[in-house]
Amino acid sequence: MILVWLTEALVFVLVVAGILAERPRALMLTAAAGAAAVAVPATVPRVRTALTRAFEAHRAAAVAGGAVAALALPFALRSSPYWTFVATLALLYVTIGQGLNLQIGTAGLINLAGAAFAGIGGYTVGLLTVSTGWPPWLAVMVAPLVAVAVGTVLFVPILKTRGHYLALVTIAFVFIFNVLMNNFEFTGGPQGIKNIPTLTLFGHRFTTAPRLFGVTLPAHANFYFACLVVTVLTTVIIRRLHDSWLGLALNTLRDDEIAARCCGISITRGKITAFCVGNFFIGLGGALYAVMVGFVSPPDFDFGYSLVMLSVIIIGGVDSIPGVVLGACLLVPLPERFRFLHEYRLLLYGVVIVLMLLYRPAGLWPAAVRRYR
């Protein structure tokens, strides 16, 4: 019990310290501490089993601790609107990552068009609110469905190609999406869509700074809490689907299509279901992004972001639901912190992914065996 609280507190402190550390030396120290906190359990099996046992035995405590930490984060970051924004972005990456992981991790559909489906969500919100005057919350609810609907054009390659070939088709899809967004007039071309109206909840506009428990938080904290709710809901839904007959069927067809077919599993139905459910959540993440930043343009959804989404899954853990949360929480804020490295930052990023694939292909938090609890 104490072990669980201590670990969670340590992780939380490290995350906040890592984000707030201003001087490069302090930053390096927190980064080293963070790396050690990850490396020690990963390499010393005794520490790892002790930690996993503690978390297994006190699941409720661990979840409660995580919830408190997540709710407390904007208060810790109250002096910095920018880092509140980055934390919200990390939450959106969790939502997107969960959807994408159902496709890539659970069903083995290598979808590198994540940025395009997020873009479809974002552009749908932009078009519906700015051009048609829909209320933003309604547009955010409809946008994921549009992402699913547009995804139907990929049904044929999804069913007819596998592995790298499917990856190539989806890469092509991102580029086509970008070219179209750059050239269509109704999407604003390279300028994109500006002045997307913000969300309001019971008359509270999300652009006004909220005051909670006597503390004034940055305006982005509104989105942080809204996205937290969406992210938790997404994660719970994906978890339940993963631990259902669907997750089992998808894992089976991912590992062996012939065996799956001879077990009575329809490959067509499985892949289509995974693809549509995944696109729904990717589109939802893109839609929330659009209302949060207030504009969408083609470079916000280019192929590079597909790679970031893929990296979240590879670093967190393929087919691992907690892994996606961890991956997004590491991968979204950390590169921001290393901005002083300029473009070498991206190089570092690539090196980390190659190292992961070489030495820890299952990710930092590998997928556990399904326990049906």
Partner 1 sequence: MSLLQTRGLTVRFEGLVALADVDVAVGEGETVGVIGPNGSGKTTLFNALTGLYPPATGDIVFRGRSVAGLPPHRIARLGVARTFQSSRLCLQLSVFDNVLAGMVAARRTGLLEAVAWRRRARADMQAALARARHLLGLFNPDLPARGWERVGQLPQIDRRRVEICRALAAGPTLLLLDEPSAGMSPAETRALMKDLQIVRDERRGLSVIVIEHDMFVIEGVSERVIALNYGRKIAEGSFAAVVAHPEVREAYLGQEHARA
Residue 257 one-letter amino acid: E
CA dist 10 and 26 (Å) reads 17
Cα–Cα–Cα angle for 46, 51, 54, rounded to 5 degrees? 125
User: Cβ 233 to partner 1, closest distance in Å?
Assistant: 10
User: Cβ 286 to partner 1, closest distance in Å?
Assistant: 22
Q: Which is nearer to partner 1, 324 or 367 (by Cβ)?
A: 367
Pull the structure tokens for residue 9.
């507190």
Q: Which is nearer to partner 1, 267 or 293 (by Cβ)?
A: 267
Q: Which is nearer to partner 1, 3 or 265 (by Cβ)?
A: 265
User: Cβ 366 to partner 1, closest distance in Å?
Assistant: 10
User: Cβ 48 to partner 1, closest distance in Å?
Assistant: 17
Q: Which is nearer to partner 1, 183 or 266 (by Cβ)?
A: 266
Q: Which is nearer to partner 1, 358 or 369 (by Cβ)?
A: 369
CA dist 178 and 249 (Å) reads 34
- Residues in touch with partner 1 (CB under 8 A): 237, 240-241, 243-246, 248-249, 251-252, 255-256, 258-267, 273, 369-372
3-state secondary structure at position 109: coil
- Backbone phi and psi for residue 25, each to the nearest 5 degrees, phi listed first: -65, -45
CA dist 265 and 169 (Å) reads 25
User: Cβ 270 to partner 1, closest distance in Å?
Assistant: 9
User: Cβ 320 to partner 1, closest distance in Å?
Assistant: 12
Q: Which is nearer to partner 1, 98 or 129 (by Cβ)?
A: 98
Question: Helices marked H in 21-80 — which ranges?
Answer: 24-43, 45-57, 59-76
Q: Which stretches of the chain are assigned E, i.e. beta strand?
A: 200-201, 204-205, 211-212, 215-216
